[in-house]
Chains A and B, each alone.
Chain A
Amino acid sequence: MAARAEAAAAAPRPLQAAAIGVCAETGFWDALRRLKLDVLGTDDSPIPITGYYTPRQYEKIASLFRICPESILPPSANSFGDRNNCPVPGTLLNTNNMRGFQNLDRALLLKAEAKKILHDIKSGKVEENPALLLRFLVISFADLKNWKVYYNVAFPSLIFDSKITLLSLKLASQVLKQEEATSLSNAFTEWRKSSETTVVPFFLINISPDSSATIRQLKDWKACQGNGQKLLFGFYDHGNRGFPGWALRNYIAFVSLRWKIEKVHFFCYREKRGRPDIQQSLVGEASFPAPHAGWDEPDYVPEAIGWEGETAGKESKEMKPKEIDLSSINPASQDEEKQLMHLKLMGWRHFPVNLDKLAGVRCLLLGAGTLGCEVARLLMTWGVRKLTVVDDGCVSMSDLVKQSLYTDKDCGVPRVTAIVPHLKERCSAVEVEGIQMGIPKLEYNISASKISSITDDCKRLQTLVDSNDVVFLLNETWEGMWLPTLLCADKNKIAITVLLGYDNYLVMRHGAGPGTKSGGMDEGIAQIENLSTQDALGRQRLGCCFCSDTTSLVNSDHNGALDQQSAVILPGLTSVASGKAVELFARMLHHPDEIHAPGDIAGTDTEHQLGLLPHQMQGSLSKCVLSTVLCNSSSNCIACSNAVLSEYRRRGFDFVTQAITCPTYLKDLTGISDLKKPFASKISASIPVSKTSASIPVNLEKLSSARCLLLGAGTLGCDVARILMDCGVRKLTVVDSGRVVVSNLARQSLYTSDDRDSPKASAILGRLKERCPSVDAKGIKMEIPMPGHPVSPNEAVSVLEDCKRLQELVSSHDAVFLLTDTRESRWLPTLLCANENKIAITAALGYDSYLVMRHGAGPGTNCGSPDVVAAADTLSAEDVLGRQRLGCYFCNDVVAPVDSVSNRTLDQQCTVTRPGLSSITSGCAADLFTRMLHHPDGIHAPGEIAGTSSEGPLGLLPHQIRGSLSQYNLLTLLGYSSSNCTACSNAVLSEYHRRGMDFVMQVINEPTYLEDLTGLTDLMKSAAYSQVEWIDEVDDDDEMDI
């Protein structure tokens, strides 16, 4: 070491300084991850952070600059600092995606930080806070989805046209006298003991002629001028070798620029075991002539070096980012964080979800059948973690295709026993309890021996309602809803009812219970008068599911028949109704008034970011209509009126038993009997759900033989596959390139924890067979080639193979479902379907809106032109039946499909949607397919608009269905094929005919080529929008019924 130092003193040469190594602790990145996810969202502004610097501590290794969990605290709140942790201000720039990280202009960023340092030097701030000379910069991309961080760190060093030259460098022990060394060592010991000075990394060393040494702060510079004193500019040196640490570079610049000292004598302070190590510290001299004029101008931007790994003198090469894996942090809670991430991402751009409220709310689900399975799973997706499920039935074979959680192993098992492990498998954080119990029903044929057990059940149900916050009435019969409704009204609990007819549904929330008048008497007769006609907030009470119903009263002798009929439900209806029920629940929970919230009507405005909060939703799957209904509580209601509640509070379960066993008791009590005749004329108008059974035979043979290709096995794919099996489809092929991850488990209805890390394409097969052994299903793991995702020469062969494979799949199937996440992934399937005249159905999700549409038929061919070269002329503007072609997914776009992921923030990449949305969309998509299959014209069927008379045997056959969860509207749209379409127009199809996969590969690499080919480019230039062949008819069928 001494020999090296001696050699260094031989001749002047450029100053060489040891780079600062950085230890960016995992805890820091975890803190950033939380900050990004919970607070910053899409904000990628620079963040001030603090790093910690220390002189060398070990003889054999250099000290590391620490970036630790405390670093991310605001500097004003950061009081953390001690002898081995000198706080240093820095800047963190965290991007929203990898491309943004890679595209950062590192040289420009470095200069910007260097400019700050120069400003601090010129302004004198450095004398007050010397650590500013070490100002650092961190650039990063925190990949929240994959729990990784990529980053680089820089310590900017000012560069001028003048150079720093090292004149001499020696061990301090060789330069200082013995007395000087001893005195200096003692001075350092005192400096390091003081909490005020120990955190100051740059200082002045004054050695007087009598060999006594003192250490002063930079702000004491003037006091250090004196006669015959030796002055050394001292700093904490992190290095351990024969040349100074990086910090010296800016220190010399400071001394020269600020104090006009051209020859700088410096002291590199190092420690061993916390004590001054004069043996290893260095003393040297460096020369830095004043730079040429200009550096002191206000807007001067200095040159700088300093990225970690960058070497002075060499040209900067492409910097490789460092990588940190965060998954080793707290693996136990990681699953829960991943499952809740999509809800946190909602807060970035849409609405901050109250996760604590959702996790704490207790939900009681009455019914673990078709509706119960869907609602429970969707509630978990919303972050609900406390569930109680009540049911008295067992899983049967016919349940498997309908009820999304059960598998063949569950046959014969009570539903409440089977459902618990299935929910746990998907979300281990959920606390779920199953209770096997029948709900006491209005059942007029009850025998005397049953009364005792029914009373017990009533009491148990009361206990359950009391101990939960929200009750979902999912038990599928009117009669079974009476008692829960009564109990919820009595206890002011949120109650949500879902009731299904054959092809229509009712989803509603019950109003609050009655408030109490003050000063009521204790006598029984006064109980009625003591209950207010308003709720506890003095508002009009909304109605319950019995308030507008007179069916059970008028047709009580047909209850048995109704029970049987209600079991026949159109496949897909459950998903639609469940999705709406869960969204209604989540919306209500985010309303400040909760159960007291007034009802909104579709078509009105709301400022709330989750949209409207209706009271009732009534919809028809086959008619493609949805209405929001507002209905106040009825004083004649058999479940929630004051007359009923007063009697219940007075007599308790004696009242309940009498109501259950006596056919006319409730009618007499509420006064309905006396009003029977006036109500008769309103019966049909007030029945919210039709119970007409299916009279039209479904062609099962057609369904079972249809070959369906599902592109995408994610949230939509799982639901669509299940519902198609429920419809009777038995030939399914599923394509997906991804693997099952933990955040899929609650949202994607088929996967469980056993499927984690498995390819979705193979995992889904087993799950489908578990539910329907006769299904003939295939899974194909394949990436769909996409425009805007350029292909390198190495990948070209396999991508071409994928294109051909996809073409073969489309050819060998009757219908293709486009269920992927991105717009560009739909382009090639759309082209192939148009070319092969295959049914194509697209389901697309926004945050709170959805689109379900069928693509039109492909073009017909003009006769009499056999020339292959002139293929363009042979394509007709109409389909093979001579009809106008309906549009496809791309027909009303004026931009070619491009990469929609790389430049986006995480919430955009992850398709953040409200949890109930995919269920609704999947139900609509499967139903649309079924009706198209039954239409005599098939793919050529013209599009119908809601509100017109339906031609098809199974109801309306629209072209497009668009719905919104915030506006609660449902639109059926009709659009025709555009000659400028990038996917199905004749220009594109002709080019595909002519060039085949060459054309496809060109589009993949240069998607804007499609705009040229189709004339969109010219169209946009001329801005003549009227030329676009697009007819848009909208029929909004909202309805107000008070």
Chain B
Amino acid sequence: MGGSTTVRDGTLSHGDFVASAKALIEKWKEIDVDDALPDWRWKPCCKMGVPSEEEGYLALEGVYRNHGGSQVQSCSGNLHFYDYHVVYSFSYKVPVLYFQGHQSGGQLLTLDEIKEDLPSLSLKLLGESRWTFITREEHPHFSRPWFTLHPCGTSDCMKLLLEGMQDKDQQVRYLPAWLTVVGQAVGLKIPLGLHCNS
């Protein structure tokens, strides 16, 4: 019931986040996904050189997009690569999406270049919704800034989204639902299969 209490106000406990992340990793492997999407992986943090399974983040790395036309598929010079990290925020008690993009040679993409890769629906969302705006913050696990969707509106958004769901479903449905919303904002298509019960 304690877990239900936290989900009802739109937040997610750290324990539920870790459990949901690992469930998502397994589910993702079973469903059909777009060719450009690799697998999600759990990245544990190292303390004193020893990986800690309970502290870490969810990562989808190496997603590629064809930049400047889809006809020349094998020309790597036209490819942009994106890394997405889902990190738990203890301040807001919600997951936070960090992401960055780079050209195939390694040059970082600017925000304007990233927006050029986004479909029009994402641009519309970013422009209109108060729940999804991109800022640049220092990645919690690296000492370099990454782009992020600011988490201040996440709990309000998730509260609305999860209304009407039965309590026992909310913990497991939180992360896929959240990912669908934020994914739309950053051009990350989340397949419907992620929401179907096995």
Contact = CB atoms under 8 A, between A and B. Distances in A.
Nearest to A82: B41
Interface in B114-159: 142, 144-145
A952 B62 CA distance: 77
A27 B102 CA distance: 11
A101 B35 CA distance: 40
B191 interface: no
Contacts, number: 69
Contact of A58 (B29, B36, B49): B36
Interface stretch (A320-328, A433-441, A661-669, A832-840): A320-328
Contacts of B104: 21, 23, 64
Interface in B73-106: 73-74, 76, 79, 81, 102, 104-106
Given A61-B76, A61-B79, A330-B145, A23 B102 contact: yes
Contact of B105 (A61, A62, A241, A322): A322
Contacts of B178: none
Contact of B38 (A25, A273, A325): A273
Contacts of B81: 23, 64
Nearest to B113: A328
Interface in A228-277: 240-241, 273-274
B188 interface: no
A328 B73 CA distance: 28
A241 B74 contact: yes
A59 B36 CA distance: 9
Contact of A274 (B39, B74, B105): B39
A60 B73 contact: yes
A21 B103 CA distance: 12
24 contacts: A21-B76, A22-B106, A23-B102, A23-B105, A23-B106, A24-B105, A26-B102, A27-B142, A27-B144, A57-B38, A58-B35, A58-B64, A60-B74, A61-B64, A64-B81, A67-B106, A69-B142, A241-B74, A273-B39, A274-B38, A325-B107, A329-B144, A330-B145, A332-B145
B105 A30 contact: no
A18 B102 CA distance: 23
B107 A324 contact: yes
A305 to B, nearest CB: 20
Given A24-B105, A61-B79, A328-B108, 10 more contacts: A23-B102, A25-B102, A27-B144, A60-B74, A62-B74, A273-B29, A274-B38, A274-B39, A329-B108, A329-B145
A328 B110 contact: yes
Contacts of B35: 58-60
Interface in A28-60: 28-30, 57-60
B106 A61 contact: no
**Interface core residue of A59, A62, A64 (most chain B CB under 10 Å):** A64
A79 interface: yes
Contacts of B73: 60-61
A988 to B, nearest CB: 50
B74 A330 contact: no
A612 B118 CA distance: 62
A1030 B183 CA distance: 78
Contacts of A24: 105-106
A324 B76 contact: no
A29 B107 CA distance: 10
- Pick the 3 closest A-B CB pairs, nearest first: A24-B106, A26-B108, A25-B106
Interface residues of B, number: 24
Interface string B9-49: 00000000000000000000100010110110000000001
B68 to A, nearest CB: 15
A22 B105 contact: yes
Nearest to B107: A324
Nearest to B138: A330
A27 B33 CA distance: 29
A28 B106 contact: yes
A829 B76 CA distance: 53
Given A26-B102, A58-B64, A330-B144, A64 B107 contact: no
Nearest to B109: A328
A271 to B, nearest CB: 10
A28 B102 CA distance: 13
A324 B108 CA distance: 9
A26 B49 CA distance: 25
A273 B79 CA distance: 18
A322 B105 CA distance: 8
Contacts of B142: 27, 69
A963 to B, nearest CB: 42
Contacts of B39: 273-274
A273 B64 CA distance: 13
Interface in A60-83: 60-62, 64, 67, 69, 79
A158 B25 CA distance: 42
A4 to B, nearest CB: 13
Interface in A617-668: none
A22 B76 CA distance: 10
A328 B109 CA distance: 8
A322 B106 CA distance: 10
Nearest to A63: B62
A241 B73 CA distance: 12
**Interface core residue of B49, B73, B104, B108 (most chain A CB under 10 Å):** B108
Interface string B57-74: 000001010000000011
Contacts of B33: 273
A57 B64 CA distance: 11
B74 A26 contact: no
B76 A62 contact: yes
B145 A26 contact: no
Contact of A26 (B62, B79, B107): B107
Interface in A735-776: none
B142 to A, nearest CB: 8
**Interface core residue of A59, A322, A328, A329 (most chain B CB under 10 Å):** A328
B144 A30 contact: yes
A329 B38 CA distance: 26
A856 B70 CA distance: 72
Contacts of A273: 29, 33, 38-39
A22 B77 CA distance: 11
Nearest to A241: B74
B74 A79 contact: no
A449 B110 CA distance: 65
Given A21-B104, A23-B81, A26-B107, A57 B144 contact: no
Interface in A946-1005: none
B143 to A, nearest CB: 9
A514 B2 CA distance: 64
Interface string A307-350: 00000000000000010110011101000000000000000000
Interface string A271-306: 001100000000000000000000000000000000
A27 B138 CA distance: 13
Contacts of A27: 142, 144
B118 to A, nearest CB: 18
Contacts of B74: 60-62, 240-241
Nearest to B43: A82
A25 B49 CA distance: 24
Nearest to A26: B108
A29 B73 CA distance: 28
A273 B35 CA distance: 8
Contacts of A60: 35, 73-74
**Interface core residue of A21, A25, A322, A329 (most chain B CB under 10 Å):** A25
B139 to A, nearest CB: 10
B4 to A, nearest CB: 35
Contacts of B145: 329-330, 332
A642 to B, nearest CB: 51
Nearest to A308: B105
B106 to A, nearest CB: 4
A61 B73 CA distance: 7
Nearest to A332: B145
A717 to B, nearest CB: 35
**Interface core residue of B38, B74, B102, B105 (most chain A CB under 10 Å):** B105
